[in-house]
Structure 1
Amino acid sequence: MTGKPARPITPSAARRELEDLRSAINHHRREGLCSEIVEVVLPDKPLPRERWLTRSEAARLIWAAWRYREVQKGKETGRRSRRHVARFILVALYTGTRSSAVCGAALEPTVGRGWIDLDSGVFYRRAQGARETKKRQPPVKLPSRLLAHIRRWKDTGAAQSAVVEWNGEPVASVKKAFARTVIDAGLSTDVTPHILRHTCATWLMQARVDLWEAAGFLGMTVQQLEATYGHHHPEFQSEAAEALRRQKSDRNPVNKTERTPEKASKIVDFSRRAG
C-alpha cells in the first residue's frame, strides 16, 4: 500500500491482460496440461487515437523537459533532472519508435537490448536475441540531425551506455517524468509517450512521404499506415474530389446555353400558345 489512490485501468490495458491470459491458457492446453477448454472473451478494440502533436507543441514539450530544474524544499536547484526525458522525446519523435524500445536502446551491441550504431546511423530497434513479434521492429535510419545529437550526448557523457540514462544508468521507463513534463508544457493529459509515434507517422504523411518508405520507417504495413494515418496525406482522396469537381463543370452543355433576349421572347410566345 502506498497511500495513493488506485489508478483506473484503461480498456486497452484490460484487453492486453486478457490477451496474455488467453495465450497462457492456450499454451497450457497445447502442452497437454489442461483437459478443459477455457474461453476468454475479449472486449472490442478501442478506437485508434487521433491525437498527435503540432510542431509548436512538440517544441514546448522538449523545452519543458530540457529546462526543468529540480525543486527541493520549495526552491529550484541547479539540477536538470529531466534532460533524459528530452532525449527520450527526440528519439521517439523522430524515429516513431515505441517507448520501450527507445528506453532499451544501447550505444553498443548488447544482448537483450536494441542498439544504435553511431557509425552507420542505424537504430536496431529489436533486442538482440529476441524473436520478431506482431509489433515489428525493423532497423531504422536515423535523421542526420538526431544522429548528431546522439553522438554529442555520447561525447559529453550525457549518454554513456544507453540513449536514455539517469545518473549514468539506463532508464526502464519515463512514464511518470513524461506525465509531469506534459503538465509543465501546458499540454492536455491525453499526451502520452505513445503519442510521439502517432506524431511521427502523421508528420510523414503531411510531408508526402511515399507510403512504402514511411511504413518501413515506422515498422508497420502499408495497409496499417494508410488505414490509420492516410487521411493526413495532402493527396488523401484528392482524385475522387477532383473527379466530382470536373463532373460538375462538365455538365450537359444544353443547360449552359446562353439565354438571349430573342430566345427568351420565343419561350414566352410558346408558353402563351400552349396556354
Structure 2
Amino acid sequence: MLSEVTPRTCRDYADTRTKGGARRDLEDLRAAINHHARRNLHVGLVIVDLPEKGKAREEWLTRDEVARLVWVCYRHGRTVRLPRGRNKGAVVESQWHDLRHLARFILFSLYTGSRSGAVLSASLYKGQGRSYIDLEHGVFYRLAEGKRETNKRQPPVRLPPRLIAHIRRWQAKGLIATHIVEWDGVPVKSVKVAWARALKLAKITKKAPPHTLRHTAATWLMQQGVDKWEAAGFLGMSTDDPAWTDRKQPPDRAADAASAITRKRRKSSP
C-alpha cells in the first residue's frame, strides 16, 4: 500500500540489497508512484527515501590494455579434439574465431564513446530499433529508430576517419551484413560473456564492465587536451556545468574530438 511507503520501510528494504541495487529499485518505485499521481489515481505526497549514491566509476583502460584486448579477440580460436581415427584425442586449432565480433564492439564503442545498447543496435541500414550508421556523411545516429529520448542522451556523433575505414573494410570482407556486432550473420544482443573471457585472456584484472570503454573514451579525450564542452558533446555526457547540459550540438561541432579519439597520447615535454 502507498501508506506503507515511508522513510523507515525504504531504509529497511535498502538493508536487504546492495546500495546500488536498492537505489535503482527505489527510483523505479518513485517513478511508478509519481506516474500514478499524475493520473489522479491517488491524492497526497508519498516520499521515497533513497540511499546515497555510490561512488562514480573511475576505472578506465590504457591504450596498451585496449590493444591487448583487441589482439586476443582477433587471434583467439577455439580448439577441438579429433573424435576418431589414428589421431583420436589430438588437439587441433580450428578456424572458429569466437571473439572477433567483440573486437568490432570494442573499436566502435571506444571510437564513438557510445553506450553498449547503441553499439549493439548499430546498423548500416535504417530500421525499427536500430541505431543508424551513415557512412556517406560519416555520422552515427545513436538513438535507435522508434526509441524515445531519455535522460541518457544519445546525440548524433561524427565518426572518426579511422573507424570509417574499419567499417568499410569489415563490409568489403563480408564480416558484417547489417550490424556492426554480429555473430554468424545475426546481431548480438549482449557481450557480457565474451567480454569477461577476453579480459581473462588479455590478463586484465581491473573490474571493468563493457561500459568502461565509454569512460576510457572520455579519459583519452581529456588526455589529448580536447575542450571539455566539445568532449561532452561528442560523448553525449552531461556535467555539473549547466552550459554542458542545456546546449545541443550538431555532429560537426565535435569533429576535433572525433579525430582526437584515435590519436595516441601526446608526451609531455620535460
Aligned to 1:206: 223
Contact map agreement 1:212 1:222 (CA 8 A) in 2: no
2:99 to 82, 97, 118: 82
Deviation per CA, 1:75-113: give whole Å up to 9, x if none: 642200111111000011111111111001111111222
Aligned to 1:133: 150
Aligned to 1:176: 193
In our comparison, the structure showing a higher alpha carbon Rg is 1
Q: CA deviation at 1:130?
A: 2.0
2:175 to 141, 158, 182: 158
For the residues of structure 2 that align with 1:226 and 1:87, how far apart are their CA atoms? Answer: 34
1:32 to 40, 47, 54: 40
Aligned to 1:167: 184
Greater helix share, structure number: 1
Aligned to 1:54: 62
Structure 2: runs of 5 or more not aligned: 1-16, 82-90, 245-264
1:120 to 137, 151, 155: 137
Aligned to 2:163: 146
Please give the root-mean-square deviation of Cα atoms over the aligned residues, in Å. 2.7
Q: Which amino acid aligns with 1:20?
A: D
For the residues of structure 1 that align with 2:218 and 2:193, how far apart are their CA atoms? Answer: 24
Which deviates more, 72-81 or 96-105? 72-81
Residues 230-269 of structure 1 mapped to structure 2, 5 A cutoff: none
Structure 1: runs of 5 or more not aligned: 1-8, 228-232, 235-275
For the residues of structure 2 that align with 1:122 and 1:41, how far apart are their CA atoms? Answer: 42
Aligned to 1:239: none
SS at match of 1:123: strand
Distance 1:13 1:146, change over 3 A: farther
1:192 to 190, 199, 209: 209
1:63 aligns with 2:80: no
Deviation per CA, 1:160-208: give whole Å up to 9, x if none: 1111111111111111110111111100140111110111000000001
SS at match of 2:122: coil
Give me the identity figure in percent: 54
Q: CA deviation at 1:10?
A: 5.4
For the residues of structure 2 that align with 1:139 and 1:129, how far apart are their CA atoms? Answer: 15
Using structure 2 for the length normalisation, give the TM-score. 0.75
Q: CA deviation at 1:31?
A: 1.9
For the residues of structure 2 that align with 1:79 and 1:50, how far apart are their CA atoms? Answer: 35
Deviation per CA, 1:14-73: give whole Å up to 9, x if none: 422322222122212222334575433221111112211111011011111111112445
SS at match of 2:133: strand
1:110 aligns with 2:118: no
Q: Which amino acid aligns with 2:226?
A: V
SS at match of 1:115: strand
Using structure 1 for the length normalisation, give the TM-score. 0.73
For the residues of structure 2 that align with 1:177 and 1:209, how far apart are their CA atoms? Answer: 32
For the residues of structure 2 that align with 1:166 and 1:37, how far apart are their CA atoms? Answer: 50
Q: Which amino acid aligns with 2:178?
A: S
For the residues of structure 2 that align with 1:102 and 1:170, how far apart are their CA atoms? Answer: 11
Q: CA deviation at 1:222?
A: 5.1
Distance 1:115 1:14, change over 3 A: farther
